[in-house]
A and B are shown apart, each in its own frame.
Chain A
Amino acid sequence: MKRLFEGVPAHGLVLLALFAAALVVAPFLVSNYILSVLIIVLYFAYIGQAWNLMLGFAGLLSLGHALFVGIGAYSSAALFIHFGIPPVIGVFAAIALSVLMGCLIGYLGFRFSIHGVYFALLTIAFAEFTLIMVDHTRWLGSTEGFFLPVSNRSSVDLINLRGTPVMFYYVILTMTALALALCRWLLNSKLGYYWQAIREDQQAAEASGVHLFKYKMIAVAISSGLTGIAGVFYAFYYNNLFPDATFGTNRSIEMILGTIVGGVGTLFGPIIGAFILTPLGEMLTGLTEGFRIDGIKQFFWGLCVALIVLFRPSGVWPWIASLLKLDRKPEDRSSGDRS
């Protein structure tokens, strides 16, 4: 626990504590609508963190991460609907299947030296054909959708993940906090050093004793497993699953935009990005309602994203971090933190 915060400047810890405290008390202060927005924000922050582990840490671009959300969502939902197995157990199946799929993609990609955008194409291909497969699987509801029984939402049942939005809020908040802690720990471990070496220069990494295949596979396995957990949350929060809306490439893009805007390769980028993009979308919905022009919201949303990326090409977080003096000064680097 102590090592986790090692090297974070004191005022950074204070800010982090304030931010965490604000999130913990938020359900008591905000309206139901804001709470639902916060749940989506944290959901994207969590997924962004998982995806960032691959691209930001190890330099592996996945454009099909919706695949792992879908696998997690459908597997846990199927176990619940068909066999009555609660998500607390189903989540392990979700993780196992996501990791298995991730490792299959990784094996094909790394065994046959498929690099960069071509690896990204492979991830898209797997997401697309899983989509088609689910489309045609009656057992999973096919195109008509897969529905979880909506029960009384006033009680809290963590085992079956049935309950009020406040419960879901605390579940996703805990998940996001744990993912952040895990990523920070990983980044400062041998794995993190090796991943970054691979990201920066594969040949030099290999010459320095890094087994490329092994460490890339580990990155994919952890990232896909974490994303699979998000799928379980997705299924039990929304209660309905449609193949297109779960596995679609637009879903994969949506879940990585926040991290790109926030700062790829940073620990807080995914969080900041989610806190910018989701509320921005919600705000624009409100602002553009009166215009009655189709697509006007998407137009302004796209414009905002383009402007952010144009002016902060390495992400918003590195800029905020330097404003708050949280970026490590050269002499602070000894602990190797990357907050």
Chain B
Amino acid sequence: MTSSASLSVRGISKSFSGLKAVENVTFDVVPGSIQALIGPNGAGKTTIFNMIAGVFRPDTGDVFLDGQSLKGKRPDQICRAGVGRTFQIVRPFNDLTVAENVAVGALTWTDDVKEARDYARTVLGLLGLDDKRDARPTGITLPDRKCLEVARALATKPKILLLDEVMAGLRPTETDRMVDVFRKLNHDTGLTILLIEHVMRAVMALSAHIVVVNYGKVIAEGKPEVVTRNPDVLACYLGAEAVH
């Protein structure tokens, strides 16, 4: 279904009218891995995502997908290049059904609406949303809408999936369900995943590698058990109690 891809973020910076939101951020995402990007609110995580996905143009630096520069590419081109993304605040197409929402994603690789709809059903089945396929996004629960966001991104057949806080607002059981889905996807298809997440339960369960940002800079990076013991990370984000 997919092949994995590597992502290299090289020295990207972004300022908003003088305020440095992201400053010289560099990290790599290994093909076929699940990696997390964590940090306090306002640290610049979503801005980094938006630069990878082409919504913002980095002031400096570049992003490489499988060694290919994404510089100057539009979001739709980056999507077609193999980067799927979800939005922190869900952005469904409200007047379309759940299945049609997902089919829009599938139309990136097929012109045949029927094929796109069939594939949408496959993806919805994978995420346990198939019974809601004819509902409108306004008529389903928030966790389901988060799933829909993921389904639409998955339908584009990405090589790497950027997940922006898809677990936020989910109950622990729902978080576990999502975690299982991502783990299965990663295992079965080799899909590379980069996630922004505050739910440490999910971060610890999923990721092999964590990048921590604060005030727009990378302050720590490494294996979860190492990063979560880093005093800087504890001080600015996790708090001392997270050690236990």
Instruction: Decide if the interface of chain A is mainly helix, strand, loop or mixed.
Output: helix
- Interface flags for B84-115 (1: CB within 8 Å of A; 0: not) read 01010001111111011001110110010100
A207 contacts partner chain B, Cβ-Cβ < 8 Å: yes
Q: A179 — which chain B residues lie within 8 A by C-beta?
A: none
Which residue from chain A places its CB closest to the CB of B102 in the assembled complex?
A: A208
The stretch of B74-82, B170-178, B200-208, B215-223 in contact with A is B74-82
Asked if A207 and B134 sit within 8 Å, CB to CB, the answer is: no
> Could you tell me the distance between the alpha carbons of A334 and B103 in the complex, rounded to whole angstroms?
12
Asked if A209 and B100 sit within 8 Å, CB to CB, the answer is: no
Q: A190 — which chain B residues lie within 8 A by C-beta?
A: 107, 111, 113, 116
Q: B111 — which chain A residues lie within 8 A by C-beta?
A: 190
Interface centre among A188, A203, A207, A334 (most CB of B within 10 A): A207
Asked if A207 and B53 sit within 8 Å, CB to CB, the answer is: yes
B135 contacts partner chain A, Cβ-Cβ < 8 Å: yes
Asked if B134 and A208 sit within 8 Å, CB to CB, the answer is: no
Partner of A196, one of B75, B96, B117: B96
Q: A209-B76, A333-B134 are in contact. Are A200 and B113 (CB under 8 A)?
A: no
Q: A336 — which chain B residues lie within 8 A by C-beta?
A: 100, 113, 117
Asked if A204 and B93 sit within 8 Å, CB to CB, the answer is: yes
A325 contacts partner chain B, Cβ-Cβ < 8 Å: no
Chain B contributes a number of interface residues (CB within 8 A of A) equal to 33
B55 contacts partner chain A, Cβ-Cβ < 8 Å: yes
Chain A contributes a number of interface residues (CB within 8 A of B) equal to 26
B156 contacts partner chain A, Cβ-Cβ < 8 Å: yes
Q: B55 — which chain A residues lie within 8 A by C-beta?
A: 203, 207
Asked if A210 and B97 sit within 8 Å, CB to CB, the answer is: no
A167 contacts partner chain B, Cβ-Cβ < 8 Å: no
Asked if A196 and B113 sit within 8 Å, CB to CB, the answer is: no
Q: A298 — which chain B residues lie within 8 A by C-beta?
A: none
> Could you tell me the distance between the alpha carbons of A206 and B111 in the complex, rounded to whole angstroms?
17
State which residues 47-64 of B face A: CB under 8 Å. Answer: 53, 55
Nearest CB on B from A16, distance (A): 22
> Could you tell me the distance between the alpha carbons of A65 and B41 in the complex, rounded to whole angstroms?
47
- Interface flags for A211-245 (1: CB within 8 Å of B; 0: not) read 11000000000000000000000000000000000
Q: A211 — which chain B residues lie within 8 A by C-beta?
A: 74, 76-77
Asked if B75 and A206 sit within 8 Å, CB to CB, the answer is: yes
Asked if A330 and B113 sit within 8 Å, CB to CB, the answer is: no
Partner of A200, one of B93, B105, B108, B117: B93
Nearest CB on B from A58, distance (A): 12
B209 contacts partner chain A, Cβ-Cβ < 8 Å: no
B152 contacts partner chain A, Cβ-Cβ < 8 Å: yes
Q: A189 — which chain B residues lie within 8 A by C-beta?
A: 113
9 contacts between A and B (CB under 8 A): A190-B116, A203-B91, A204-B87, A204-B92, A207-B75, A207-B76, A208-B76, A208-B79, A209-B108
A-B complex: 4 closest residue pairs judged by Cβ atoms: A209-B108, A200-B93, A204-B91, A209-B79
Enumerate chain A interface residues (CB-CB to B < 8 A). Answer: 188-190, 193-194, 196-197, 199-201, 203-212, 265, 330-331, 333-334, 336
Enumerate chain B interface residues (CB-CB to A < 8 A). Answer: 53, 55, 74-77, 79-80, 85, 87, 91-97, 99-100, 103-105, 107-108, 111, 113, 116-117, 134-135, 152-153, 156
With A210-B104, A334-B117 given, name 6 new contacts (CB 8 A). Answer: A196-B95, A200-B92, A200-B96, A211-B76, A331-B134, A336-B117
